[in-house]
Chains A and B, each alone.
Chain A
Amino acid sequence: MGKLSVMIISALWLATTVPAYGADTTKDQKDECLLASKNCASQVDSIQKKIKKLNAEIKKGNRVYSPEELKRLQTKLAEANDMLDTLLGLKGGSQ
């Protein structure tokens, strides 16, 4: 019983601390987020990186994703490409 409680608490602690990755550093670790804007907890992908990652995931194909999931990824890729076109002025108002 005691072992199981420890397991539950450990598992919960691990699970809830994962999203905070990168936010804190140990005593001897550099803070790459402050130093070089890398590994920040709130880091988000640029539009190019997002497109690159989506292409890479779609390439994995049926080996990893179900047809329904692939369709969702393809929709997201189309949306990201559309957003890039809009930012660059290829779609939408250009003035």
Chain B
Amino acid sequence: MSLKKKMLAVAAVGALTAATAVPAMAFENEFHGMYRFKGVMSNVQNASGAHFATISDDPQTKTFLEQRARLLYSAKASDDLKLVTHFELDYSKFGDNSYNVGRNNGGALGADEVNLETKSVYLDFNLPTATKINFKVGMQPWVDSYGGLVVNADMAGVLASAKYGDLANSIGFFRFDDDAGRKGFEKALSGKNTRDFLALDSKYNVTKDFRVGATYYLLNDDLNADNAALAGAFTTDAATTASTGTNSGRVANSSITHMVGVNAQAKVGIATIDGGLIYQFGTLDTPVKGHLSAFGGYVGSKVAAGPGTVNFVAAYTSGDSTPGAGNSNAFQSVQNTTSSGVSENTFYGANLHILLRSKYEINSGGYIVGSSNNKNQGMTVGALGYDMKFTDKLYGNANIGAGAVAKTNGNSGSADSKYLGTEINAEVGYKLTDNLNVSVVGAFMKLGNYYKGNAKNANTGAAIAAGDKPNDPFYSTVMLNYVF
């Protein structure tokens, strides 16, 4: 081949490379989402959004239809840079409201509700260093390494993660609240009356099948304990009050909770086992000034058995018998300060629907243990289940789980037993397409002696007789789930 021809051949290869490389440089717009519809019949859930169920005698059966849609858009410039946005549209129930402004509403005739919720907006990028360091900056989903016993929520902050061989480290700073500008705190300075969360999380792969982890979380709460007192102080001292920091009338919180924990995951033959233990200490300003010493933990296993999988989960969080006095032993789960559904923690490992929040939950509300703090009572939960595929399309699971409070206290009414009850449930589902499932869930709970003589009649408000127990709760739903 002559030099001229060689050059032409090189040019041809170059041109081909350039032409075929163009698509790889394109911007990637990624859309995903989900839609869930539920038809619910229950005597314990009421489309209320409240986390704690009210167990009462003679509760009437409620029926409602609810839905949730989530849309996720990710703008990906490269594997090292993307913006993630995630939105949600919920109806608490069909028929709830229309032509209005409010989240979880708009299911009434005419629709036209302003109800778009922004769940996440964050930038996700890698630093081009020898060991890539990933940053997530903005409002993002984050869950602790303990199945969500402490917190599982969308939170605004900065999370940096890196992997060094078998070691993975992450450090995150999240701002949960900043009172400045909120009603009654107009003169507070941004960054002063805040509630912040620090998370250090390390995981080490000892072998391919065995991983250990250690964590340190810090929840520093400098929010004002008494909004009214601060607002009042501003009203009477407005001329001289420049900030909360200079206001002698300021009533502030100064709780600090340290959390140290260890966790592990192992594959042993046909079993996968994971678990964790976390200890909390520090000082609490509310409900009363005092020291904190609390702990929680869980263990779970999945074992292949026959055509399915056996799931076992046990979880415990400590409680306190006198949360209004002295030091506290009540496990602290994260709560928000801005809504009536206060819990920002979840524990889905047990696959229950009445005792704990279900993984299918939208806004129905009402489970016996509404948070792992459980009104400072703590919790002891154990569940056993079996999960299997009958055919490629037909699947099901059945579970039994029992629960108790760790300590009874002033929030337990007149309970003289810790035993909350035992739930049995089952689900049968069918895959209509790769992305769409239809399923039926039924759950029933036999109430424990915690409720003996310890409930009111739902209609009259009268206390039940000392030896009586209120009606046992049930929950059933028909569901459609589309994920794409």
Known contacts A12-B19, A92-B120; A46 and B357 CB within 8 A of each other:
no
Within 136-163 of B, Cβ neighbours of A (below 8 Å) are at 140-143, 152-154
B119 interface residue (CB < 8 Å to A): yes
Q: How far is the CA of A12 from the CA of B19 in the complex (A)?
A: 7
Q: By the criterion CB–CB under 8 Å, are B435 and A48 in contact?
A: yes
Q: By the criterion CB–CB under 8 Å, are A7 and B12 in contact?
A: yes
Query: What band does the interface of chain A fall in when counting residues whose beta carbon is under 8 Å from B?
Result: 20 to 34
Known contacts A4-B9, A49-B434; A90 and B348 CB within 8 A of each other:
yes
Residues of A near B70 (CB, < 8 A) are 87
Q: By the criterion CB–CB under 8 Å, are A87 and B32 in contact?
A: yes
Within 1-41 of B, Cβ neighbours of A (below 8 Å) are at 4-5, 8-9, 11-12, 15-16, 19-20, 23, 30-34
Chain A residue at minimal CB-CB distance from B49: A95
- The proximity string for B residues 63-99 relative to A, scoring 1 for CB distances below 8 Å and 0 otherwise, is 0000000101000000100000010000000000000
A8 interface residue (CB < 8 Å to B): yes
Chain B residue at minimal CB-CB distance from A93: B154
Within 85-134 of B, Cβ neighbours of A (below 8 Å) are at 86, 119-120
How far in angstroms is the closest Cβ of chain B from A37? 12
- In the complex, which of the residues A47, A86, A88, A92 contacts B484, with contact meaning CB atoms closer than 8 Å? A47
Chain B residue at minimal CB-CB distance from A89: B359
Residues of A near B58 (CB, < 8 A) are none
Q: How far is the CA of A76 from the CA of B142 in the complex (A)?
A: 18
A23 interface residue (CB < 8 Å to B): no
A72 interface residue (CB < 8 Å to B): yes
Q: How far is the CA of A5 from the CA of B7 in the complex (A)?
A: 12
Chain B residue at minimal CB-CB distance from A16: B19
- The proximity string for B residues 255-270 relative to A, scoring 1 for CB distances below 8 Å and 0 otherwise, is 0000000000000000
Q: By the criterion CB–CB under 8 Å, are B30 and A93 in contact?
A: no
How far in angstroms is the closest Cβ of chain A from B196? 18
A53 interface residue (CB < 8 Å to B): no
Chain B residue at minimal CB-CB distance from A92: B141
B416 interface residue (CB < 8 Å to A): no
Q: By the criterion CB–CB under 8 Å, are A8 and B32 in contact?
A: no
**Overall SS of chain A's interface:** helix
One of B198-206, B244-252, B338-346 at the interface:
B338-346
Q: How far is the CA of A92 from the CA of B152 in the complex (A)?
A: 5
Chain B residue at minimal CB-CB distance from A4: B8
B226 interface residue (CB < 8 Å to A): no
Q: How far is the CA of A39 from the CA of B194 in the complex (A)?
A: 52
Residues of A near B33 (CB, < 8 A) are 87
Q: By the criterion CB–CB under 8 Å, are B20 and A95 in contact?
A: no
How far in angstroms is the closest Cβ of chain A from B413? 26
B483 interface residue (CB < 8 Å to A): yes
- The proximity string for B residues 40-51 relative to A, scoring 1 for CB distances below 8 Å and 0 otherwise, is 000000000100
A83 interface residue (CB < 8 Å to B): yes
Residues of B near A15 (CB, < 8 A) are 16, 19-20
Q: How far is the CA of A15 from the CA of B152 in the complex (A)?
A: 48
Q: How far is the CA of A11 from the CA of B13 in the complex (A)?
A: 9
Known contacts A8-B8, A8-B11, A94-B346; A88 and B32 CB within 8 A of each other:
no
Q: By the criterion CB–CB under 8 Å, are B8 and A95 in contact?
A: no
Q: By the criterion CB–CB under 8 Å, are A46 and B79 in contact?
A: no
Known contacts A8-B8, A11-B12; A83 and B357 CB within 8 A of each other:
no
| Chain A to chain B contacts (Cβ below 8 Å), 20 pairs | A4-B8, A4-B9, A7-B12, A12-B15, A12-B19, A19-B23, A46-B483, A46-B484, A47-B483, A48-B483, A49-B434, A86-B72, A87-B32, A88-B34, A89-B359, A92-B141, A93-B119, A93-B141, A93-B153, A95-B363
Other 16 A-B pairs with CB < 8 A, given A91-B141, A92-B152: A1-B4, A11-B15, A12-B16, A15-B16, A46-B434, A48-B434, A48-B435, A49-B434, A83-B72, A86-B86, A92-B141, A93-B119, A93-B153, A93-B154, A95-B341, A95-B363
The 4 tightest CB contacts between A and B, nearest first, are A92-B141, A93-B154, A15-B19, A8-B12
